[in-house]
Amino acid sequence: MLFSSIPFLYYFLPMVLMVYFLAPRKAKNTVLLVSSLIFYGWGEPKLLFLMVFTIVLFYFCGLAIGARPSARWKKAWLLVSVVISLALLGIFKYADFFIGSFNTLTGLSIPLLRLTLPVGISFYTFQSLSYTIDVYRGSVPPQKNLLSFGAYVSMFPQLIAGPIVRYADIDRELEERTHSWEGFSLGMGRFLVGLGKKVILADNFALLMKLFRESDEKSVLFYWLYAVAFTLNIYFDFSGYSDMAIGLGRMFGFHFPENFNYPYLSKSITEFWRRWHMTLGSWFRDYVYIPMGGNRVRRGRWVWNILTVWMLTGLWHGAAWNFVLWGLFFGIFLMMEKWVPGLQKLPNALRHGYVMLAVIFSFVLFNANSLSQAAGDMAGMLGLGGLPLISAPAVYYLKSYGLLFLMGILGATPLVKTLARKAADTKAAWVLEPLVLAALLLVCTAYLVDGSFSPFLYFRF
Amino acid sequence: MKKRNLAVLLLWAVLTGAAWLLPARELSQAERRPLAQMPAISGQTILNGKFMTGFEKYSLDQFPLRDGFRTIKSLFHFYGLHQLDNNGIYLAKGYAVKQEYPANADSVAHALERFTHLYEKYLQDSRVSMAIVPDKGYYLQDGHLRMDYDRFYADFAQELPWAQQIDLRECLSLEDYYRTDIHWRQEKLAKAAAALCQGLGVGAFDPEEFTVTALERPFYGVYYGQAALPMEPETMYLLENAVIQACRVYDYESGKENPVYDLGKLTGRDLYEVFLSGSRSLLTIENPNSRTDRELILFRDSFGSAMAPLLLADYAKITLVDLRYIPIDRLDRFLDFHGQDVLLLYSIPVLNNSQTIK
């Protein structure tokens, strides 16, 4: 089930909210668990067992680790949780990628598994891993209540597209959280803003991308429109989902971590990754990069650590070579920024321009169906192959989407937030805030009813 | 709670309540289609996902004020986001127009192949004419995407040398089409009918031979529903005379006879079906008052339904064939081809999306 769908907005969510707030405090986590399993089973009824298995596996591994056995047994239980969950992730998400690559290399034709990819498996696997690793490190106690733990792993607001909420982020709130009307209202507002980002901005940019792919009249301008459209699409799609998740969490009394901080303002790739998908970046830093030795090793080993982490980051996003290259692309830029002197001294405009160019090209690679399509798209952007500079459809769509591009570019800066904060304490806010939120609800509903409906990009991860 | 947002929660709750409690509707008049109903729930439909898929369709189709919400979307899309079209439909000079762009080379090739097959199999003894009906976009030069119409017409002229091309482009104008519909207006077809009569080599078309009758029911065309914009309904007119009234139409599908103007369709989903009862695969119109004993086979799409009555004066029999509903290779089971006049009358929207031609 998508957040940006009529069944979620007008059937599932209202029903869950009603039951949740009518339920006694002790039963609230059970309500969350049951509703999350329904939410997950709605799209994947046959794969519900995998979710339940993951909950049970990590619950018992957490208990076993937390029971303070010998160091060897602690490590063994940790390994059980890591190996089994990564094996499941590997089988469901990566098996066909590796088999296909192996077949290509060797000329063999080992049959593919063609398994359905369980929605959100990368997110809930990483969240669960953070739990057993943190229990192993002693930074959080194990959760003794299976229902509460199940509610954490399966919690529908952030189950399928993040942010990656570590157990340590909400362990206290799982036991004791405050439900306030103030928090509910803030959460609702945040949810509606995220819904607007997804439905009004991201989905309309997605439509332009589809029109680009279908067109036989490509031009350099059209390739750039496509590339910028996807750069905005993926930001508003993913940050919109994160806003909705954080907003829903707030409505239920949780404080989820932020996932985006205006990444397109960055003046270096290092800064970009501190602002983009922050919970994934910090997860890899804390659970992969630092355990590998981080930067406190010889330079050769450091290079290896960086490339490994970024290759894994790419692979986390999808089982295809373009994702691997996408991760390595950023790894190389990050190393360059560390070791090439003078980059930080360039004027801000140049640094910002360089970051945006790198990011736009990286997303063209990211969104391609194959490496050859990525190469073709980049060649198109560079005007190679005798492509015309402009074409009739490119000019038409530039005119048609001009305002949307402007809204997207301004929306990717803190401008709107700053204006909203300035207006928040004025009398006008009493009228403006509910008016804007109601308009967002109505317009998004109108788009959904009209059938402009596209799945979240991050579902496949 | 920040009390100022209570109104938003209330609005959400009211819409939710309406979605849960309002009875399901059967049909959408604006979209001319049945609406999805609540799917059956069982262990099997849940496990195979059919219940979920069905419920998603149901919740979208049965959402309260569905048409109103679709209008909000269209208005926001056009006036809020300043988009030039909404799902490929745009407004120009008060007309809702479907953007027919680009020319679909595969579709043109398919149509050419089918027509060539038709000619080689049945029509080599006939005098064949072809007329392509332009879409409304042909008459608009307003910054929207336009296909290369000259090339489109030239492709058919070059690849079908056995057919005499009758060019209708100069015989029509934007005003000859409905504002809310894809089709042309029958009462405005005098020039086009005259061009066709001249091309077919029959007597000149005389508009004075017809009286114009307005239908009482307002006409909401197909783009009215698709565009979901507040447009005024139109009046549909029929051209009538004694010749048309005396004709009988035989429908091969139902085996029934109908009048040329099927007034039984006045209460149907689409008022345009008044012309020859709408989409039918094979019809013959017998004209007892024809000035000659000539026969015409009209291969056509829905535009032909409004034009055929205007060609009756000099034909004792007109056979109308819609190749979207009957395959070419099965025609000889029903028709005897013996050198009748033949006219291929097809609109650009069909030729540019011709995969349905069998």
Mark the ranges of chain A whose per-residue pLDDT is less than 50: 452-461
A120: left (phi over 0), alpha (psi -120 to 50) or beta: left
In this predicted structure, the answer to whether residue B270 has a pLDDT above a threshold of 70 is yes
3-state secondary structure of A156: helix
Q: Domain spans of chain B?
A: 1-64, 97-356
Are residues B283 and B305 in contact, defined by beta-carbon separation less than 8 angstroms? no
Q: Closest residue of B to A432, CA-based?
A: B4
The residue with tokens 């405005």 is: B188
pLDDT-derived band at B125 (thresholds 50, 70, 90) equals: very high
Are residues B99 and B144 in contact, defined by beta-carbon separation less than 8 angstroms? yes
Q: Which residues of A205-228 are buried (b: 16+ CB within 10 A; e: fewer)?
A: bbbbbebbeebeebbbbbbbbbbb
Q: Is B14 at the interface with chain A, CB within 8 A?
A: no
Cross-strand pairs, B21: none
Q: Which pLDDT does position B257 carry in this prediction?
A: 95
| Count of beta carbons in the 10 Å neighbourhood of residue A107 | 6
Distance CA A81, CA A76 (A): 9
Cβ contact, residue pair B73, A447, below 8 Å: yes
Q: Is B22 at the interface with chain A, CB within 8 A?
A: no
Pairing state between β B282-286 and B248-251: antiparallel
Distance CA A301, CA A310 (A): 14
Cβ contact, residue pair A443, B73, below 8 Å: yes
Q: Which pLDDT does position B234 carry in this prediction?
A: 96
Who among B6, B12, B102 is closest to A441 (CB)? B12
Cross-strand pairs, B219: B234
Q: Is B55 at the interface with chain A, CB within 8 A?
A: yes
Q: Closest residue of B to A217, CA-based?
A: B102
What are the tens digits of pLDDT across the range A5-58? 999 999 999 999 999 999 999 999 999 999 999 999 888 788 899 999 999 999
pLDDT-derived band at B2 (thresholds 50, 70, 90) equals: low
Which residues does chain A have within 8 Å of residue B16's beta carbon, measured at their own beta carbons? 10-11, 14
Are residues A237 and A458 in contact, defined by beta-carbon separation less than 8 angstroms? yes
In this predicted structure, the answer to whether residue B157 has a pLDDT above a threshold of 70 is yes
Q: Which pLDDT does position A161 carry in this prediction?
A: 77
Tell me which of B61, B73, B86, B99 to substitute to probe the interface with A (most A C-beta atoms closer than 10 Å): B73
Give the helix, strand, coil percentages of chain A, each rounded to 5.
75, 0, 25
Q: Is the pTM of this model over 0.90?
A: no
Q: Which of A132, A1, A122, A124 is nearest to A54 (CA)?
A: A124
Phi, psi torsion values for B182, nearest 5 degrees: -75, -25
Distances (CA, A) of B223 to B89, B91, B99, B181, B273: 8, 10, 12, 5, 16
How many C-alpha atoms does A174 have within 13 Å on its Cβ side? 25
Q: Which pLDDT does position A376 carry in this prediction?
A: 96
Mean predicted confidence (pLDDT) in B32-48: 89
Who among B4, B70, B71 is closest to A430 (CB)? B4
Q: Which pLDDT does position A456 carry in this prediction?
A: 45
Interface predicted TM-score of the whole assembly (ipTM), two decimals: 0.88
Active site residue A317: yes
Cβ contact, residue pair B81, A404, below 8 Å: yes
pLDDT-derived band at B190 (thresholds 50, 70, 90) equals: very high
Q: Is B10 at the interface with chain A, CB within 8 A?
A: no
Cβ contact, residue pair B5, A43, below 8 Å: no
Which residues does chain B have within 8 Å of residue A401's beta carbon, measured at their own beta carbons? 83
Tell me which of A338-347, A369-378, B37-46, B168-177 is least confident.
Answer: A338-347
Q: Which pLDDT does position A203 carry in this prediction?
A: 95
